C-alpha cells in the first residue's frame, strides 16, 4: 500500500475519530433527553414526542446512506478516518471536496491528486477543512443567544424606544438606541437575509449565487484544460459532463416524475457514476 495512504488510514486515527464522535453523540443524547423531559413538563404528549423520534430516525436513514457514499468518494484521496469524521461532523460532501481541493492548491499541489499528496500536505488540508467550516459553530457560540432573544423579543425593544421618544426623555432614547452594537448589527443583517414566510429573501439567492460562481470557476477550468493550450486533458471535462448528465436524469425523475426519494442520492450517485466512467475510459484508452 502507498505510504501516504497507510498513514492516513492508520489505526490510531480511527480511534481519535471514534472519541470525537462519541463526544458529539453524547451531546446529542443529552439534548434529546433534556428536550424530551421539557416537553413532558410543559404538557406535550409523550406519544407525539415518540412519534417525532421514530419519524426522524426513519426520515434520516436514506440520506445517511448517501452520506456514506460520500465517505467512499472522499476516502480514496483523504483516507477513511478523515472522510468519516468530516462527513459525520459539521461538513457536507460538496464543502469537504471543494475545500480539500483549494487547500491542496494552497500547499502547492495541482489539486486533490493522489500522486502528489503527502502527509505534510494532508495535515494542512485537514486543518483548512476544519477551521474553514467553523463559521456556523462560532456564530452559535457567540451570537445564538442574542439572535434568538432578538427574534423572540423584537417588538418589545421597538416599543421601548417609541415610548422613550414620546416622553422626550433624551437620555432614555439614547440608551435604548445605543443598546448593543452586535444586537443592532444582527438585527440589520437578519432583516436582509432571514427567510420570510411569503417571499424568498436575498439570503437564499446569495448562497445559490455563491455556489453558481464556484461551479462556474471549476467548469471553466475544465474547459480550459481540454483545449490544446491547456494540455488537452479531456478527462476532467468528460467526468464533469457525465456527472452533469447523470444529475440531469435525476433532476428529471425528481422534478417531472416526482421520485422525491432520489433527491437524497442524486449528488453522490452522479459522482460515483462519473468516477466509474473515468475508470472505464482510462481502461479503454
Under DSSP, the state recorded for 195 is: P
Measured distance CA(146)–CA(139) in Å, rounded:
10
Contact between 117 and 104 under an 8 Å Cβ cutoff? The reply is yes
Measured distance CA(282)–CA(57) in Å, rounded:
41
Joined together, the cell numbers standing for residue 52 give: 417525532
Only segment of 161-169, 176-184, 262-270 that touches other proteins (CB under 8 A): 262-270
* Of residues 8 and 173, the one with the C-beta less far from other proteins: 8
Contact between 156 and 123 under an 8 Å Cβ cutoff? The reply is no
* Of residues 97 and 164, the one with the C-beta less far from other proteins: 97
Site mask for other proteins (CB under 8 A), range 183-222, x = bound: ---x--xx--xxx-----xxxxxxxxxxxxxxxxxxxxxx
Only segment of 155-163, 166-174, 175-183, 267-275 that touches other proteins (CB under 8 A): 267-275
Q: How many CB atoms lie within 10 A of CB 267?
A: 20
Only segment of 121-129, 159-167, 175-183 that touches other proteins (CB under 8 A): 121-129
Q: Is residue 261 at the binding interface for other proteins, with CB under 8 A as the rule?
A: no
* Of residues 170 and 227, the one with the C-beta less far from other proteins: 227
Only segment of 96-104, 155-163, 164-172, 176-184 that touches other proteins (CB under 8 A): 96-104
Contact between 145 and 186 under an 8 Å Cβ cutoff? The reply is no
Half-sphere exposure of 237 (CA within 13 A, CB side): 13
Q: Binders of other proteins among 122-161, rule CB under 8 A?
A: 122-128, 130-141, 143-145, 147-148, 151-152
Q: Is residue 265 at the binding interface for other proteins, with CB under 8 A as the rule?
A: no
Joined together, the cell numbers standing for residue 169 give: 426623555
Amino acid at each position: 500500500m502507498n505510504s501516504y495512504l497507510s498513514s492516513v488510514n492508520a489505526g490510531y486515527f480511527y480511534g481519535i475519530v471514534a472519541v470525537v464522535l462519541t463526544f458529539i453523540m453524547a451531546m446529542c443524547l443529552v439534548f434529546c433527553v433534556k428536550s424530551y423531559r421539557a416537553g413532558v413538563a410543559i404538557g406535550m404528549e409523550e406519544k407525539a414526542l415518540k412519534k417525532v423520534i421514530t419519524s426522524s430516525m426513519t426520515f434520516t436513514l436514506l440520506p445517511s446512506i448517501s452520506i456514506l457514499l460520500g465517505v467512499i468518494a472522499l476516502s480514496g484521496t483523504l483516507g477513511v478516518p478523515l472522510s468519516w469524521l468530516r462527513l459525520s461532523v459539521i461538513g457536507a460532501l460538496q464543502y469537504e471536496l471543494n475545500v480539500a481541493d483549494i487547500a491542496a492548491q494552497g500547499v502547492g499541489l495541482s489539486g486533490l491528486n493522489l500522486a502528489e499528496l503527502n502527509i505534510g500536505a494532508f495535515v494542512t488540508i485537514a486543518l483548512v477543512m476544519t477551521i474553514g467550516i467553523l463559521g456556523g459553530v462560532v456564530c452559535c457560540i457567540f451570537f445564538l443567544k442574542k439572535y434568538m432573544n432578538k427574534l423572540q423579543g423584537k417588538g418589545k425593544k421597538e416599543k421601548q424606544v417609541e415610548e422613550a421618544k414620546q416622553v422626550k426623555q433624551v437620555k432614555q432614547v439614547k440608551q435604548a438606541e445605543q443598546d448593543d452594537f452586535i444586537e443592532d448589527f444582527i438585527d440589520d443583517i437578519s432583516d436582509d437575509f432571514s427567510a420570510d414566510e411569503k417571499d424568498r429573501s436575498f439570503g437564499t439567492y446569495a448562497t445559490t449565487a455563491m455556489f453558481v460562481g464556484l461551479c462556474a470557476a471549476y467548469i471553466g477550468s475544465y474547459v480550459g484544460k481540454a483545449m490544446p493550450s491547456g494540455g488537452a486533458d479531456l478527462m476532467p471535462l468528460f467526468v464533469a459532463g457525465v456527472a452533469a448528465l447523470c444529475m440531469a436524469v435525476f433532476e428529471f425523475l425528481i422534478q417531472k416524475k416526482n421520485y422525491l426519494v432520489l433527491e437524497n442520492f442524486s449528488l453522490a450517485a452522479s459522482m460515483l457514476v462519473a468516477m466509474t466512467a473515468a475508470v472505464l475510459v482510462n481502461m479503454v484508452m
